[in-house]
Homo-oligomer: A and B are copies of this chain.
Amino acid sequence: MENPLAGAPSPDIDLHFLRRALNLAAENVERGDGGPFGAVIAQDGRVIAEARNLVLAENDPTAHAEIQAIRAACRKVGHFHLENCVLYASSEPCPMCLAAAYWARVTRIVYANSRLQAASAGFDDADLYRELCLPAAARRILVAQRTLAEANAPFAAWHNSAKRQMY
Protein backbone atom coordinates (compact mmCIF):
# COMPACT_ATOMS: atom_id res chain seq x y z
CA MET A 1 0.00 0.00 0.00
CA GLU A 2 1.28 3.40 -0.88
CA ASN A 3 2.19 5.48 2.11
CA PRO A 4 1.42 9.07 1.13
CA LEU A 5 3.91 10.38 3.67
CA ALA A 6 6.83 8.15 2.63
CA GLY A 7 9.65 9.55 0.63
CA ALA A 8 8.22 13.02 0.19
CA PRO A 9 10.73 15.77 0.93
CA SER A 10 7.93 17.83 2.49
CA PRO A 11 5.16 15.39 3.31
CA ASP A 12 1.74 16.97 3.00
CA ILE A 13 0.10 15.76 6.15
CA ASP A 14 -3.01 17.85 5.49
CA LEU A 15 -3.79 15.91 2.30
CA HIS A 16 -3.07 12.66 4.12
CA PHE A 17 -5.68 13.37 6.82
CA LEU A 18 -8.16 14.76 4.28
CA ARG A 19 -7.95 11.49 2.36
CA ARG A 20 -8.75 9.66 5.57
CA ALA A 21 -11.79 11.93 6.11
CA LEU A 22 -12.94 11.22 2.54
CA ASN A 23 -12.52 7.47 3.10
CA LEU A 24 -14.66 7.72 6.23
CA ALA A 25 -17.28 9.59 4.19
CA ALA A 26 -17.37 6.88 1.52
CA GLU A 27 -17.50 4.15 4.18
CA ASN A 28 -20.45 5.93 5.78
CA VAL A 29 -22.50 5.82 2.57
CA GLU A 30 -21.81 2.11 2.27
CA ARG A 31 -22.98 1.52 5.84
CA GLY A 32 -26.03 3.73 5.39
CA ASP A 33 -25.44 5.47 8.71
CA GLY A 34 -25.83 9.00 7.42
CA GLY A 35 -24.68 11.54 4.85
CA PRO A 36 -21.45 11.28 2.81
CA PHE A 37 -19.29 13.01 5.39
CA GLY A 38 -16.29 12.12 7.52
CA ALA A 39 -13.95 14.01 9.84
CA VAL A 40 -10.61 13.55 11.56
CA ILE A 41 -9.05 15.52 14.41
CA ALA A 42 -5.28 15.57 14.71
CA GLN A 43 -3.25 16.89 17.60
CA ASP A 44 0.42 17.60 17.01
CA GLY A 45 0.23 15.63 13.77
CA ARG A 46 -1.39 12.51 15.26
CA VAL A 47 -5.01 11.43 14.85
CA ILE A 48 -6.90 11.61 18.14
CA ALA A 49 -10.44 11.16 16.78
CA GLU A 50 -12.22 9.98 13.66
CA ALA A 51 -15.94 10.15 13.00
CA ARG A 52 -18.66 9.67 10.42
CA ASN A 53 -22.04 11.37 10.01
CA LEU A 54 -24.54 9.34 12.09
CA VAL A 55 -27.71 11.39 11.53
CA LEU A 56 -29.67 8.44 10.10
CA ALA A 57 -28.27 5.68 12.32
CA GLU A 58 -28.87 7.64 15.52
CA ASN A 59 -31.91 9.72 14.49
CA ASP A 60 -29.85 12.70 15.60
CA PRO A 61 -29.75 15.80 13.39
CA THR A 62 -26.72 17.07 15.33
CA ALA A 63 -24.63 13.94 14.68
CA HIS A 64 -22.58 15.47 11.87
CA ALA A 65 -19.11 14.02 11.40
CA GLU A 66 -17.38 17.13 12.76
CA ILE A 67 -19.58 17.25 15.90
CA GLN A 68 -18.97 13.54 16.50
CA ALA A 69 -15.22 14.04 16.01
CA ILE A 70 -15.11 17.01 18.40
CA ARG A 71 -17.01 15.03 21.05
CA ALA A 72 -14.72 12.03 20.64
CA ALA A 73 -11.57 14.15 20.74
CA CYS A 74 -12.75 15.93 23.90
CA ARG A 75 -13.45 12.58 25.56
CA LYS A 76 -9.92 11.53 24.56
CA VAL A 77 -8.17 14.59 25.99
CA GLY A 78 -10.58 14.90 28.93
CA HIS A 79 -11.27 18.57 28.32
CA PHE A 80 -13.79 20.77 26.52
CA HIS A 81 -11.04 22.62 24.65
CA LEU A 82 -8.89 21.05 21.95
CA GLU A 83 -5.46 22.64 22.16
CA ASN A 84 -3.22 22.45 19.07
CA CYS A 85 -5.81 20.49 17.16
CA VAL A 86 -6.68 20.58 13.47
CA LEU A 87 -10.12 19.54 12.24
CA TYR A 88 -10.09 17.77 8.87
CA ALA A 89 -13.48 17.47 7.19
CA SER A 90 -14.42 15.79 3.93
CA SER A 91 -16.65 18.82 3.24
CA GLU A 92 -16.71 22.40 4.43
CA PRO A 93 -18.31 22.40 7.88
CA CYS A 94 -21.90 23.69 8.08
CA PRO A 95 -22.51 26.62 10.46
CA MET A 96 -23.40 24.23 13.31
CA CYS A 97 -20.08 22.43 12.98
CA LEU A 98 -18.06 25.59 12.36
CA ALA A 99 -19.48 27.16 15.52
CA ALA A 100 -18.74 23.93 17.42
CA ALA A 101 -15.12 24.17 16.25
CA TYR A 102 -14.95 27.69 17.68
CA TRP A 103 -16.36 26.51 21.01
CA ALA A 104 -13.77 23.70 21.00
CA ARG A 105 -11.04 26.21 20.08
CA VAL A 106 -9.46 24.12 17.35
CA THR A 107 -6.43 25.77 15.78
CA ARG A 108 -7.55 25.48 12.17
CA ILE A 109 -9.90 23.65 9.83
CA VAL A 110 -9.12 22.02 6.48
CA TYR A 111 -11.77 20.62 4.14
CA ALA A 112 -11.92 18.98 0.71
CA ASN A 113 -15.35 19.77 -0.78
CA SER A 114 -16.74 23.30 -0.61
CA ARG A 115 -20.29 24.18 0.49
CA LEU A 116 -21.16 24.62 -3.19
CA GLN A 117 -19.90 21.14 -4.04
CA ALA A 118 -21.97 19.79 -1.12
CA ALA A 119 -25.00 21.66 -2.48
CA SER A 120 -24.64 19.75 -5.75
CA ALA A 121 -24.97 16.56 -3.65
CA GLY A 122 -28.19 17.86 -2.12
CA PHE A 123 -26.81 19.44 1.08
CA ASP A 124 -27.55 23.13 0.94
CA ASP A 125 -25.22 24.38 3.63
CA ALA A 126 -24.73 27.60 1.65
CA ASP A 127 -28.40 28.35 2.24
CA LEU A 128 -27.98 27.71 5.96
CA TYR A 129 -25.06 30.16 6.11
CA ARG A 130 -27.27 32.76 4.42
CA GLU A 131 -30.12 32.15 6.88
CA LEU A 132 -27.93 32.52 9.98
CA CYS A 133 -26.49 35.80 8.75
CA LEU A 134 -29.92 37.32 8.10
CA PRO A 135 -31.64 39.51 10.68
CA ALA A 136 -34.00 37.33 12.74
CA ALA A 137 -37.12 38.86 11.18
CA ALA A 138 -36.03 37.75 7.70
CA ARG A 139 -35.35 34.10 8.55
CA ARG A 140 -37.49 31.09 7.57
CA ILE A 141 -37.65 29.92 11.19
CA LEU A 142 -39.19 32.50 13.48
CA VAL A 143 -36.78 33.34 16.30
CA ALA A 144 -38.31 35.72 18.80
CA GLN A 145 -37.42 37.15 22.18
CA ARG A 146 -39.92 37.37 25.04
CA THR A 147 -38.79 39.49 27.93
CA LEU A 148 -39.34 38.31 31.50
CA ALA A 149 -38.51 40.18 34.68
CA GLU A 150 -36.73 37.11 36.09
CA ALA A 151 -34.66 36.35 32.98
CA ASN A 152 -31.40 37.62 34.47
CA ALA A 153 -31.55 35.36 37.53
CA PRO A 154 -29.47 32.48 36.04
CA PHE A 155 -26.76 34.95 34.97
CA ALA A 156 -26.66 36.52 38.43
CA ALA A 157 -26.34 33.05 39.98
CA TRP A 158 -23.55 32.20 37.53
CA HIS A 159 -21.71 35.41 38.38
CA ASN A 160 -21.75 34.47 42.05
CA SER A 161 -21.07 30.76 41.66
CA ALA A 162 -17.91 29.20 43.05
CA LYS A 163 -18.31 26.46 40.43
CA ARG A 164 -18.10 28.93 37.55
CA GLN A 165 -15.59 27.95 34.86
CA MET A 166 -15.51 29.68 31.49
CA TYR A 167 -15.56 27.50 28.40
Interface residues of A (CB under 8 A from B): 14-15, 18-19, 22, 25-26, 28-30, 32, 34-38, 55-56, 59-62, 67, 70-71, 74-75, 78-81, 90, 92-114, 117-118, 120-122, 128-129, 131-133, 140-148, 150-155, 157-159, 161, 163-167
When the two chains form their complex, are residues A75 and B99 in contact, meaning their CB atoms are under 8 A apart?
Answer: no
Contact of A153 among B18, B22, B35, B141 (CB under 8 A): B22
When the two chains form their complex, are residues B145 and A114 in contact, meaning their CB atoms are under 8 A apart?
Answer: yes
When the two chains form their complex, are residues B56 and A167 in contact, meaning their CB atoms are under 8 A apart?
Answer: yes
Give Cα A59 to B70, complex, Å: 11
**Assuming the A-B contacts A67-B62, A74-B60, A99-B94, are A36 and B158 also in contact, with contact meaning beta carbons closer than 8 angstroms in the complex?**
yes
Chain B nearest CB from A110 CB (Å) reads 6
Give Cα A128 to B96, complex, Å: 11
Name the 10 nearest CB pairs between A and B, nearest first.
A32-B163, A96-B99, A25-B154, A36-B154, A121-B155, A36-B158, A61-B103, A133-B133, A108-B142, A112-B151
